[in-house]
Amino acid sequence: VDDKYQYSSEDKDIRVHGWISSDPPVGFWMITPSDEFRSGGPNKQDLTSHVGPVVLSMFTSTHYAGKEINTEFRNGEPWKKVFGPALVYLNSVSSEEKPLNLWEDAKRQMMVEVRKWPYNFPESVDFPKRNQRGGVFGQLRVHDRYISNRLMWADSAYVGLAAPGGVGSWERDSKGYQFWTKANKRGYFSIKNVRQGDYNLYAWIPGIVGDYKYSANITVRAGSNINLGVLVYEPPRKGPTLWEIGIPDRSAAEFFVPDPYPTLANQLYTNHPEKFRQYGLWERYVDLYRNDDLEYTVGDSYHAKDWFFAHVTRDVGNRTYKPTTWRIIFELKHLNNNGHYTLQLALASATDSDLHVRFNNPNADPPHFATGTIGKDNAIARHGIHGLYRLYSIDVPSVLLNRGRNTIYLTQSRSRSPFQGVLYDYIRLEGPPKT
């Protein structure tokens, strides 16, 4: 199978893409020097091409996010936004040269265009020149006393300016402009060429759960270069880590991704790091778990081998699907009968799902926790490995736990189609707070 979703990419990586003709050797490329006008931040996925070949330049869409990122207007609300400019770049080489030289040339041209941004040729007053923009810089650090007594560097943090809103609201914003950068290993960041306006500063850090938001609004003016100094993020945390599954990076890529059916395999993704782009992987769950659903034993199981990348429904034939219940088995040598435990449950994606969480009683009614119906990401059907991020900090009274063996039951309860399900990002059980 070769379809358009297999050519999806994160917005931060969609700088240049296109097609090559080998006879004659000609390249057709779309170069996008900036994604300041795109929706949903740097990690939102979108299409780059249709099989055909067709080259796309996606300014905004609901792909891998759903209606939560729709651009909606009410009561005569005024709105204006400049999309682009983007460059259509054509190149060619002689028949004696390698066609892949066209790709190398396109990448070089992309770097030229990035250095030119913001362009000086647009005459519209709605497209500010470089001297009509400003910047913001600073350092982001992390305070988590259960990891270190010292402030830690926010290594490789994604730091951005977006419309004022709640924590994490940038991921669902499609009306405003967004300006993002990646901090260095010490957490230093510099956001340049920012349009004048009022913003909040947001961030998330690979390896750290949750979202950061700077407490005050930031007003950027032409020529301003605002130094925010040292900012400190305190991630969600109630107590010490007892165990964890996965990596908190807003993606399910670290979990087990099966081989596709040979008849559906796209050779482009053979031995490719984005193996999840293969078609039909959701159907492999019932091949691997024919009689019983997934069971993961903390301390014995390994997330890259034993945790299926998508919590999907079970196909029982006749276009009928049933909910699936995954089990996490773990031991508690000591139980604090007077304390509360916490389950940090981060989802990388959800599609028309209602995730129920139960502790040591698979039949508890109502469940000890339920997300309610969430998500229209459609990442499973569209070969994505993440959609919109969701984090739940679940209070677990000690009365729900046992000294010794315990089981957490995760049930995705909605089951009308094979594409309903969730992708987990990270799960962590924390003990009661230490004084």
CATH at residue 216:
2.60.40.1120
Secondary structure of residue 109 in the 3-state scheme: helix
Mean pLDDT for all residues in the chain: 97
Residue 248 · residue 425 · CB < 8 Å = yes
User: Any bridge partners for residue 406, and if so which?
Assistant: 330
pLDDT in tens, 51-65: 888 999 999 999 999
Q: Is the dihedral of CA 363, 364, 369, 372 positive or negative?
A: positive
Residue 414 · residue 346 · CB < 8 Å = no
Domain end among 180, 209, 233: 233
Whether residues 359 and 246 fall in one domain: yes
pLDDT for 268: 85
Whether residues 221 and 284 fall in one domain: no
Whether residues 352 and 416 fall in one domain: yes
pLDDT for 270: 86
Whether residues 148 and 261 fall in one domain: no
Which residue bears the tokens 């004084």? 435
Q: What distance in Å separates the CA atoms of residue 46 and residue 60, rounded to the nearest whole number?
A: 9
pLDDT for 44: 97
Q: How far is CA 76 from CA 72, 73, 146, 175, 177, in A?
A: 11, 7, 50, 15, 21
Within 32-175, strands assigned E span 45-46, 49-50, 54-55, 87-92, 134-142, 152-153, 158-162
Domain end among 84, 116, 148: 116
pLDDT for 71: 94
The count of domains in the chain is 3
- Closest Cα partner for 60 from 78, 37, 36? 37
- Which long-range contacts does 256-259 make (Cβ < 8 Å, 24+ apart)? 256/303, 256/304, 256/305, 256/306, 256/307, 256/308, 256/309, 257/281, 257/309, 258/284, 258/287, 258/288, 258/308, 259/284
Is residue 220 a part of any domain in this protein? yes
Whether residues 84 and 194 fall in one domain: no
pLDDT in tens, 129-176: 999 999 999 999 999 999 999 999 999 999 999 999 999 999 999 999
Q: Global pTM? A: 0.96
Q: Is the dihedral of CA 313, 319, 63, 71 positive or negative?
A: negative
pLDDT for 364: 98
Residues 6 or more apart whose Cβ sits within 8 Å of residue 74? none
Residue 263 main-chain phi, psi, to 5 deg: -75, -15
DSSP string, 366-400: S-SEE--SEEE--TTTTT-S--S-EEEEEEEEGGG
Residue numbers in the chain where pLDDT is lower than 70: none
Domain end among 116, 150, 173: 116
Domain around 136? 130-233
Whether residues 27 and 78 fall in one domain: yes
pLDDT in tens, 424-433: 999 999 999 9
Residue type, 158: Y
- Closest Cα partner for 180 from 11, 63, 60, 17? 11
Whether residues 87 and 110 fall in one domain: yes
The CATH number for 303's domain is: 2.60.120.260
Is residue 124 a part of any domain in this protein? no
Is residue 123 a part of any domain in this protein? no
User: Any bridge partners for residue 422, and if so which?
Assistant: 311, 350
Whether residues 214 and 304 fall in one domain: no
Residue 65 · residue 388 · CB < 8 Å = yes
End-to-end CA distance of the chain: 56
Whether residues 289 and 400 fall in one domain: yes
Residue 331 · residue 406 · CB < 8 Å = yes
Is residue 90 a part of any domain in this protein? yes
Q: How far is CA 141 from CA 104, 130, 144, 181, 269, in A?
A: 37, 29, 10, 15, 37
Is residue 178 a part of any domain in this protein? yes
Whether residues 81 and 229 fall in one domain: no
- Closest Cα partner for 349 from 285, 420, 284, 293? 420
Whether residues 393 and 278 fall in one domain: yes
